[in-house]
Chain A
Amino acid sequence: MSELTKPVAPRTTVLGRWRRTLGNLMGTRHGAIGAIILLMLAAVAISAPVVAPYTPLQQTSVSLAPPSSEFLFGTDNIGRDVFSLILYGAQSSLLVGLGAALAALLVGGTIGILAGYFRGPVEAVLMRVIELFQTLPVIMLVLCAVALFGSSFSLLIAAVALAIWPMEARLVYGQYIKLREREFIAAARVADLSTTHIIFREILPNAAQPVIVQVALDASIAILIEAGLGFLGLSDPSMVSWGQLLFVAQDYMDTAWWMSVFPGAAICLAVIGLNLFADGLNEVVDPRSTRGMGGLQ
């Protein structure tokens, strides 16, 4: 077979496109910084049992010790090493962030696709459901779920996902509404391709990029919500989380600033990392969105 007649596999172009996206992402300043922060946090979360000087339950001899060379971030009211706690806390924060964002993608994506592709009565009903969820303040929704059904770790992820899926659904819905009217979809219908094929093989690859950006943003919101729940003392008591550390710190603000400052900074770092990452991704995916800063000359 000559070089010219060799068929070009379409899969590789899709893969190539994503690889290029990744390359471009590291080329943007925000994207690169965000990716580095996230990789660092992931490394911390995974290596916590090895790196942390103490386990989360281990009590040292001194409680409320200020930061020193022995206890980098000080110790808390019952003598636990705050530095170790923060390393372990990265696990639950990242797991909830990732888990809730993916769950929201699954639920929101499915509902968005159904409403956006099939339109008609399906659309009317599903959009009302989305509106219903968006009527309640997010934190109220999560609190309600946790109050009624408890706060084990998996329920916590479900509760956070419950609060953020409508955003994802709206975005996917918008993408499908827009793309289903395009010529290449009309062509696919004329070619008698199955509905599943059109939804997943024709529209999905074209709709995916802004959705991925939203997933990163969702994860940052999920981390903030999880921290909030921990701060209210409603997170899973068997896991260390940054929010929970702030909950304990609330009672020691006058004596132990380090109990509040370091866990809070960790939350900020994770959220900033995810936002920068999403920012860079958005810049790569949708170059028009980076507006010139021309101003009034």
Chain B
Amino acid sequence: MLRFILQRALYALPLIFVIIVVMFTLLHLIPGDPVQSLVGDYPVPPAYRAVIEEKYRLNDPFVVQVGNYVVAVLHGDFGFSYQNQRPVLDLILERAPRTILLASVGFAFAIPLGMAIGVVAGTTRNPGTDKFWTTSALIAYAIPTFWLGQLLVMLFALRFGWFPTQGIGPLISRAHGFDWLLEKARYLALPVLAFAIHEGMRFARIMRASVIDTLSQGYIVTARAKGLSRGQIIRNHILRNSSLPLVTIAGYSFGSALGGAVLLETVFTWPGLGLLMVDSIRLRDNLTVIGVVIFSALAVIVMNLIVDILYALLDPRIRTAG
């Protein structure tokens, strides 16, 4: 088992390295003179140019520059964001917990929702019920999350006034304890709802296919022959065996969700990593853009690694196969 984990981890390392190198190369390819952009619209004095080029080692061979950047990133130095007047790492660390909060609560609702609908649609005796859920899943899949967000805001925030339209909390909050939690929940409600509808319906699709697959297995026939009730079969046999693919896919999606739900965060002005990325793109703050991309790639790689390890723990066939 340890060998499997090491093998997987070793496999992930070069991937991280390559992503950092690719990102730096892209940054390098952007047209424009970095010294000129520091100065603005004035001609650059040659002496100043020499100082800057010396300071930032702009004349080093490309390979050396890449090497320096990789070493810096590995030390947690993603550069300095002039637009925000702060190190990029600080920005990322400030935004990440908010994105993680949104993603965690979203998944906490989306997974059970998807499982429940998938089991109902997969095991129902009534073709109408199945058709209803598969059609709903199709429509939910076609709705862009950001539009769903707008609709929810217009209905529940602007018309009924039940929830705030945007943001992560009031500017000044005096709430403590349970009230504080309730206040947070009101701000979380709509983004999480949009997220849960979208992801939950995707999970429902996967779960339904998996349930139908499980139904054709021999042990279900055996269970039925033993005279187990419908509820018992669903609880003890179908639910457990059908959940594995869903949990795997949810795990992988969780990794990408940690990089920031760019569109959802924009609709609700939720100041997480996604919004940071969009704002940085608008401000041409390339170091921050690349910092967020590297961070989210890292989140995906680590999350995939965890899912693979968990999967191997749950299913011995995986670790012996490699």
Cβ–Cβ contact A140 & B154, under 8 A: no
Q: Given that A294-B215, A296-B125 are known contacts, is A268 also in contact with B266, CB under 8 Å in the complex? A: no
Residues 243 to 281 of chain A near chain B (Cβ within 8 Å): 243, 246, 249-250, 253-254, 257, 260-261, 264, 267-268, 271-272, 275-276
Any B CB within 8 A of the CB of A227: yes
Q: Given that A293-B130, A295-B215, A296-B233 are known contacts, is A264 also in contact with B256, CB under 8 Å in the complex? A: no
Question: How far is A146 from B284 in the complex, measured between Cα atoms in Å?
Answer: 11
A227: B residues at CB distance < 8 A: 144, 147
A268: B residues at CB distance < 8 A: 139, 142-144, 147
Cβ–Cβ contact B146 & A228, under 8 A: yes
Q: Which of A131, A139, A250, A257 contacts B267 (CB 8 A)?
A: A250
Any A CB within 8 A of the CB of B153: yes
Rounded to whole Å, the gap between the CB of A223 and the closest CB of chain B is 9
Any B CB within 8 A of the CB of A191: no
Any B CB within 8 A of the CB of A9: no
Q: How large is the interface on A (under 10, 10 to 19, 20 to 34, 35 or more residues)?
A: 35 or more
Any B CB within 8 A of the CB of A231: yes
Cβ–Cβ contact B144 & A228, under 8 A: yes
Cβ–Cβ contact A137 & B256, under 8 A: yes
Any A CB within 8 A of the CB of B6: no
Residues 136 to 180 of chain A near chain B (Cβ within 8 Å): 136-137, 139-140, 143-144, 146-148
Rounded to whole Å, the gap between the CB of B153 and the closest CB of chain A is 6
Question: How far is A234 from B267 in the complex, measured between Cα atoms in Å?
Answer: 15
Any B CB within 8 A of the CB of A224: yes
B27: A residues at CB distance < 8 A: 148
Q: Given that A147-B286, A231-B263 are known contacts, is A272 also in contact with B278, CB under 8 Å in the complex? A: no
Q: Which of A139, A253, A293 contacts B263 (CB 8 A)?
A: A139
Cβ–Cβ contact A147 & B297, under 8 A: no
Residues 284-297 of chain A, each 1 if its beta carbon lies under 8 Å from chain B, else 0: 00000001011111
Any A CB within 8 A of the CB of B29: yes
Q: Given that A132-B15, A293-B127 are known contacts, is A275 also in contact with B266, CB under 8 Å in the complex? A: no
Q: Which of B147, B230, B266 contacts A296 (CB 8 A)?
A: B230
B289: A residues at CB distance < 8 A: 143-144, 147-148
Cβ–Cβ contact B266 & A231, under 8 A: yes
By DSSP majority rule, is chain B's interface helix, strand, loop, or mixed?
A: helix
Any B CB within 8 A of the CB of A67: no
Any B CB within 8 A of the CB of A232: yes
B267: A residues at CB distance < 8 A: 250
Question: How far is A50 from B233 in the complex, measured between Cα atoms in Å?
Answer: 61
Question: How far is A257 from B152 in the complex, measured between Cα atoms in Å?
Answer: 11
B130: A residues at CB distance < 8 A: 293, 295
Q: Given that A146-B281, A231-B263 are known contacts, is A261 also in contact with B151, CB under 8 Å in the complex? A: yes
Cβ–Cβ contact B212 & A291, under 8 A: yes
Cβ–Cβ contact A148 & B286, under 8 A: yes
Any A CB within 8 A of the CB of B262: yes
Residues 103 to 128 of chain B near chain A (Cβ within 8 Å): 122-125, 127
Rounded to whole Å, the gap between the CB of B205 and the closest CB of chain A is 11
B296: A residues at CB distance < 8 A: 136-137, 140
Rounded to whole Å, the gap between the CB of A274 and the closest CB of chain B is 9
Cβ–Cβ contact A296 & B282, under 8 A: no
Rounded to whole Å, the gap between the CB of A143 and the closest CB of chain B is 6
B260: A residues at CB distance < 8 A: 140
Question: How far is A185 from B296 in the complex, measured between Cα atoms in Å?
Answer: 43
Cβ–Cβ contact B123 & A295, under 8 A: yes
Any A CB within 8 A of the CB of B259: yes
Any A CB within 8 A of the CB of B26: yes
Cβ–Cβ contact A246 & B147, under 8 A: yes
Any A CB within 8 A of the CB of B318: no
A249: B residues at CB distance < 8 A: 150
Cβ–Cβ contact A148 & B29, under 8 A: yes
Question: How far is A227 from B150 in the complex, measured between Cα atoms in Å?
Answer: 14
Cβ–Cβ contact B26 & A148, under 8 A: yes
A246: B residues at CB distance < 8 A: 144, 146-147, 150
Cβ–Cβ contact A147 & B154, under 8 A: no
Residues 273-311 of chain B, each 1 if its beta carbon lies under 8 Å from chain A, else 0: 000011011101010011011001100110010000000
Q: Which residue of A lies closest to B267 (CB)?
A: A250
Any B CB within 8 A of the CB of A135: yes
Any A CB within 8 A of the CB of B19: yes
Question: How far is A293 from B132 in the complex, measured between Cα atoms in Å?
Answer: 13
Any B CB within 8 A of the CB of A233: yes
Cβ–Cβ contact B150 & A253, under 8 A: yes
Cβ–Cβ contact B30 & A148, under 8 A: yes
Question: How far is A84 from B123 in the complex, measured between Cα atoms in Å?
Answer: 46
A243: B residues at CB distance < 8 A: 144
Rounded to whole Å, the gap between the CB of A152 and the closest CB of chain B is 14
Cβ–Cβ contact A272 & B138, under 8 A: yes
Rounded to whole Å, the gap between the CB of A270 and the closest CB of chain B is 8
Cβ–Cβ contact A144 & B26, under 8 A: yes
A139: B residues at CB distance < 8 A: 262-263
A147: B residues at CB distance < 8 A: 280-281, 284, 286, 289
- Can you name 18 A-B pairs with beta carbons within 8 Å? A143-B278, A143-B289, A148-B289, A224-B144, A228-B262, A231-B144, A231-B263, A243-B144, A246-B150, A249-B150, A260-B154, A267-B144, A267-B147, A272-B142, A275-B138, A291-B212, A295-B125, A296-B123
**Besides A135-B19, A144-B26, 6 other CB < 8 A contacts?**
A132-B18, A136-B259, A140-B292, A293-B127, A295-B122, A296-B125
Sorted from nearest, which 7 A-B pairs have the closest CB atoms?
Answer: A264-B147, A271-B142, A137-B256, A147-B281, A272-B142, A260-B150, A268-B142
